[in-house]
Amino acid sequence: MSVKIHFLPDNITIEAEPGEPMLQVAERAGVLIPTGCLMGSCHACEVELGDGSTICACISSVPIGTKELTINLYDDPVW
Ligand code: FES
């Protein structure tokens, strides 16, 4: 029942548990998602999903009922 999480642009794929916090998954993958407020308001942690929508990683977790998920970190020098 694990979910395959695919991080771009680093091209790292790891297994995660449904409901596991995104930041925790990223940390386990060795991917650094920048964070600020950790409350969903500053958008420092914003990442793009495979379908083009953006989420704040700090308040997101691995969706239940998904088999795989692509997470695209912005290559933005500001953050
Ligand atoms: S760290 Fe501020 S919105 Fe996630």
Residue 20 lies inside a defined structural domain of this protein: yes
Q: How many domains does the chain have?
A: 1
Q: Of 22, 14, 49, 52, which Cα lies nearest the Cα of 38?
A: 22
Residue 59: count other Cβ atoms within 10 Å of its Cβ.
15
In a domain, 48, yes or no: yes
Q: Domain range holding 56?
A: 3-73
The Cα–Cα gap between 29 and 15 comes to 9
Q: Write down the pTM of the prediction.
A: 0.88
Q: Is residue 64 part of a domain?
A: yes
Structural domain includes residue 38 = yes
Q: What is the pLDDT of residues 3-56, one digit of tens each?
A: 999 999 999 999 999 999 999 999 999 999 999 999 999 999 999 999 999 999
Q: Does the residue 10 lie in any domain?
A: yes
Q: Is residue 79 part of a domain?
A: no
Identify which of 23, 27, 45, 73 to mutate to test ligand 1's pocket (most ligand atoms within 8 A of the CB). 45
CATH number at residue 29: 3.10.20.30
Q: What is the pLDDT of residue 61?
A: 97
- Ligand 1 pocket (Cβ < 6 Å) reads 35-38, 40-45, 56, 58
